[in-house]
Structure 1
Amino acid sequence: MSTVGEMSTVGEVTLGERWRAARPAPAGVHVDSAACSRQSFAVIDAAARHARHEAEVGGYVAAEAAAPALEAGRAAVRALTGMADADVFFTTGSGHALDILLGDRPGERRLACLPGEFGPNLITMQRHGFATLPLPVDGSGRLDVDAAADALAHDPPALVHFTILGSHSGIAQPAHAIAEICRAHGIPIIVDAAQGFAHLDCAGIGADALYSSSRKWTAGPRGVGMLATRPGLLSEPAVLRLAHAEVNIGLHVALSVALGEHLAAGPDAVRARLRDVGAGTRTVLDGAAGWTVVEPVGEPSAITTLRPPDGVDPMTVRSRLLAEHAIVTTYLGPERAPREMTRPALRISPHVDVTDADLAALEAALIAVTR
């Protein structure tokens, strides 16, 4: 019986099989998409073709020629966020987008966010002078919607920054619900979709701004990301900073290709497949060599967080999985979410192409390096 749930009939090619065939063969087992997914041949070739075109006609001429491809990428972001009239900008990644947004915001510096806020985001908030207030959550770290509605009504902050899916946890957050609360109280909301974009449903949230990176579930290149804002949110100086000529147009083109591939695969089908991947991964790994899974089996994400047995160092395990078994995972130190994490963990994040054999190899290797 298939653990990860993708069964095909005779002659049918599944989503996972198509995704795998479109990419170079992995050198081992890659279950690290929450850090960096594997790019397709088409995405890799798009960046290389643009670099070649720059060499042939000059960088600025090549940039002009790339304009239709870049606009297609922006249109894809609008479609995937449901922000039909959004201003869409390419960035160097999620951190860049947050830095631009907070640096451009005038007025009161009180911001509400989840206790599990990403550590580097907290540093950026502090650097821009924002005091951070915790949103109420349940025992799993998921937003308590009713308590949040009461808190925001009685003591509204100047801004809500909401991470739809954490870097340290596969618990999906109710972004649509918190955005509705914010609209009711006139509170601007920024959504961090670094882990959620091309993974969870990001359409129709109704955020004032939503940002993400390219390299995670979108499976685009590193060093580029995207920012969608309601029209006119950013000041002219901020827009000029984002539009500065010294940007990597080739990576922007490659990201646009990756976004097109995601749309062609079908966002609903990808989300459904990733839910199955998450459930299958948790089923296989929970209890293996004493490791315990944090998320409920049916959590609608493909991120699995493993807490180690006593005396086992996840950093050492991560290193040995890579060196001895060619399996790529992520070490999670408490600094990743310093207000919520109390001990290190291991993150497993396969994409749609994971197989039962991959998960069986991971389970066996995890047992071997733990014991």
Structure 2
Amino acid sequence: MTDTLADRWRAARPKAAGVHIDSGACSRQGFAAIDAAAQHARHEAEVGGYVALDAAAPVLDAGRAAVAALTGLAATDVVFTTGANHALGLLLRSWDGDRSAACLPGEYGPNLALMAANGFRVSALPVDGCGRLRVDEAAEALRRDRPGLVHLTALGSHRGLAQPLHALAEVCRDLALPLVVDAAQALGHLDCAVAPAAVYSSSRKWLAGPRGVGVLAVHPDLVGTLRPRFPPSDPDAPMTVLQKLAHGEANAAAQVGFSVAVGEYLAVGGSRVRARLAEVGRLTRTVMAGVTGWRVVEPVDEPTAITTLEPTDGADPHKVRAWLIAERGVVTTACDARRAPNELTTPVLRLSPHVDVTEDDLNLAAAALSDAAAL
């Protein structure tokens, strides 16, 4: 019997208690990542946290190198954070140039809040009727009215549309504009190796690491322009910009778990995972297209594993999600307008299975959704 990618992924982690189609929120960790984090926590208890941290340096270095391989930057450009929002906050607080940003109309709500809190003026990039960036029009707009930075959420939280990251990266290079990439949903899901000015992500989604960990990678050209607010420079023990960004209390065990998870991902093969996720998306949309009361938002061949269902008969996605978990063991996400306040007008249900999902899993979820119509 052929050992498929799905079989290998499934065998590497605990059996799901039900149908887990919620990797866009939090994937299921594998045994190796769980064991590595637990082993580090035990080592902290045995020798002390800082001694254990020194001993874990090779693993953490390997984790940074793996992230670098996925982003097109260098391992020395990568720092760990507690998550994607933390990473963006660190970057924006340290920005020392023009505080204006061009981004998609469907920008993630918490990102917009961080931009506002740090005094950034936001302008919208041109998109088509689906919310996908119009690259040529964007190039003209950016040439005409240069922002301090261009921010692209390469794959949204509320809609499974793959944005043209590589094309926009070329535009920004040509215009000498810093491109900052939110890869929270995209890292490990889409090809993000574009060497942007900065890119940030979380651990817990498609790379299947633990919660409470993220990464920020900053190109050396941008690093030299940042002014981190904390800690102040000590002339007797000067810190680099990246050291200042990484400074503070951290869950080293979770960072170790993430490093192992991203290493596993690369060992499996990023291109294989991405191809399988695109296949999963097509299968999910095909199965869900027949469920009464819901409309599939994405084109069936969109190369992502995220499927968004918009209610057509007044169903409440939040109530449906809770019922699916309680009554059928089907885990999904309900997204409200706060996810994308300038684009999303009604709550939706998001399905985001990983590579190990089966057609039987999806059929069970579709049947459960049909049964939830009476809610």
Offset of residue 317 of structure 1: 0.7
Residue number in structure 1 paired with 2:219: 230
How does 1:62-141 map onto structure 2 within 5 Å?
62-84=52-74, 87-141=77-131
Question: Are 2:294 and 2:313, in contact at CA under 8 Å, matched by a contact in 1?
Answer: no
Residue number in structure 1 paired with 2:359: 356
- Count of aligned residue pairs for this structure pair: 360
Question: Are 2:201 and 2:215, in contact at CA under 8 Å, matched by a contact in 1?
Answer: yes
Question: Are 2:94 and 2:227, in contact at CA under 8 Å, matched by a contact in 1?
Answer: no
Query: Which of 141, 145, 159 is equivalent to 2:135?
Result: 145
In structure 1, the gaps of 5 or more residues are 1-10
> Compared with structure 1, are the counterparts of its residues 85 and 313 closer, same or farther at alpha carbon in structure 2 (3 Å cutoff)?
closer
Q: Is the deviation greater in 72-81 or in 344-353?
A: 72-81
Q: Is the deviation greater in 62-71 or in 235-244?
A: 235-244
Structure 2 CA distance for aligned equivalents of residues 319 and 118 of structure 1: 23
Structure 1 CA distance for aligned equivalents of residues 323 and 75 of structure 2: 48
Structure 1 CA distance for aligned equivalents of residues 140 and 248 of structure 2: 45
Offset of residue 85 of structure 1: 6.2
Structure 1 CA distance for aligned equivalents of residues 247 and 122 of structure 2: 31
C-alpha RMSD of the superposition: 1.2
Q: Partner amino acid for 1:163?
A: T
Offset of residue 231 of structure 1: 1.7
Structure 2 CA distance for aligned equivalents of residues 178 and 262 of structure 1: 26
Residue number in structure 2 paired with 1:213: 202
Identity rate, percent: 61
Residue number in structure 2 paired with 1:242: 245
Cα deviation 1:157-195 (Å, max 9, x = unaligned): 111011100000000000111111111111111000000
Question: Are 2:61 and 2:75, in contact at CA under 8 Å, matched by a contact in 1?
Answer: no
Offset of residue 206 of structure 1: 3.0
Structure 1 CA distance for aligned equivalents of residues 75 and 177 of structure 2: 20
Q: Is the deviation greater in 275-284 or in 148-157?
A: 148-157
Structure 1 CA distance for aligned equivalents of residues 243 and 83 of structure 2: 17
Question: Are 1:86 and 1:230, in contact at CA under 8 Å, matched by a contact in 2?
Answer: no
Structure 1 CA distance for aligned equivalents of residues 65 and 99 of structure 2: 33
How does 1:1-371 map onto structure 2 within 5 Å?
11-84=1-74, 87-203=77-193, 205-231=194-220, 233-234=222-223, 235=226, 237=228, 239-371=242-374
Structure 2 CA distance for aligned equivalents of residues 35 and 331 of structure 1: 10
Question: Are 2:25 and 2:333, in contact at CA under 8 Å, matched by a contact in 1?
Answer: yes
What TM-score do you get using the length of structure 1 for normalisation?
0.95
Q: Secondary structure at the match of 1:157?
A: coil
Residue number in structure 1 paired with 2:235: none
Offset of residue 78 of structure 1: 1.2
Structure 2 CA distance for aligned equivalents of residues 236 and 72 of structure 1: 27
What TM-score do you get using the length of structure 2 for normalisation?
0.94
Q: Secondary structure at the match of 1:78?
A: helix
In structure 2, the gaps of 5 or more residues are 229-240
